[in-house]
Amino acid sequence: MLNEEQIFASWAADMYDEQETDLTDAEFACSVIGAPSKRILEIACGNGRMLVPLAKAGHVVTGLDFDEFMLSKIPDKAKGLRQISWRKADAMSEDWGSGYDVVMLAANFLFNIVTDLDYAEAQSLAIRKAAKALAPGGHLYIDYSYTLYPEDWFENPGEKLIWEGRDTQGNTGRMVLRDNTFDREKRLAHFVRRYELTLPDGSVIRRDIPNVKHFASLEEIHDWLAASGLVIEEEYGDYARSPIGETTNRAIIWARKQ
Ligand SMILES: C[S@@+](CC[C@H](N)C(=O)[O-])C[C@H]1O[C@@H](n2cnc3c(N)ncnc32)[C@H](O)[C@@H]1O
């Protein structure tokens, strides 16, 4: 029997698995990583959306995530694959291992970190831990949702629907983001994640989760990379390999450990 927190987490994992199925980012990552086979660590691998295509591309992959409901989606996708493993771990407090050819902080992990740490500290810590987990000459791959105009993204007083649907347990509902504001000076995005679910017995459960996230600038990311001995070899603003600019919406970085 799941408690309320687990019901929300299980519903969210079902919605993510069902609705977040675009693999453009995974295909792009494979094209940057290239051949031959590499030992890859994906931080916050979730439901294996990206981890499994990396394994299918011939790499030896390890994933790490602290959400057991997300991780439970991997076995089905990974059937028949031998070079794939994953484990439950908090990426901020636990060890990442060492000797990897590639560490992935993809799928906007730098803005999806769940942590009690100061957010900018968590972001820079993720880069330091990635550098430590890499073999000399290995690469860090970052895919971060990035704009030169964060106020346009984050200053939305209204509600934005993220997921709506029925999960495998028969719970139906929605998750919205609301009350978005952006503190330009501190580069902090404030918003509330609201879950509202109707359970099979007709009862309704709700949860408001306040979030404060630091929207790291490109300069900050560059400084954190340099401080960890990582040298940028490639940098793109989108999956068409455009340079980061006025109209691009990502920061995709391929940086080598000295
Ligand atoms: C947007 S999902 C991305 C999942 C997957 N990487 C993908 O490409 O679809 C973000 C993931 O980050 C994980 N996550 C967030 N903070 C974490 C932490 N501190 N430790 C481990 N996993 C974390 C969540 O559990 C979630 O699965």
The CA distance from 238 to 257, in Å, is: 23
Read off the pLDDT of each residue in 240-251 and give the average, rounded to a whole number.
Answer: 98
- Model's pTM, two decimal places? 0.97
Q: Does residue 53 line the site of ligand 1, with CB under 6 A? A: no
User: 107-155, pLDDT tens digit by residue?
Assistant: 999 999 999 999 999 999 999 999 999 999 999 999 999 999 999 999 9
Q: Ligand 1: which of 66, 92, 111, 115 to mutate, judged by most atoms within 8 Å of the beta carbon?
A: 66
Specify the pLDDT at position 252: 99
Going from the N-terminus, what domains does the chain have, and what CATH number goes with each? 4-147+216-257 (3.40.50.150), 150-213 (2.20.25)
The CA distance from 65 to 54, in Å, is: 16
184: region left, alpha or beta (phi > 0 left; psi from -120 to 50 alpha):
alpha
Q: Whose CA is nearest to atom 4 of ligand 1?
A: 46
Q: What's 48's DSSP letter?
A: S
User: 26-75, pLDDT tens digit by residue?
Assistant: 999 999 999 999 999 999 999 999 999 999 999 999 999 999 999 999 99
Q: Tell me how far the alpha carbon of residue 226 lies from the centroid of ligand 1, in angstroms.
A: 25
Structure-block tokens of residue 97: 């291992």
Q: Does residue 120 line the site of ligand 1, with CB under 6 A? A: no
- What is the pLDDT of the chain when averaged over all its residues? 97
Residue 157 reports pLDDT greater than 90: no
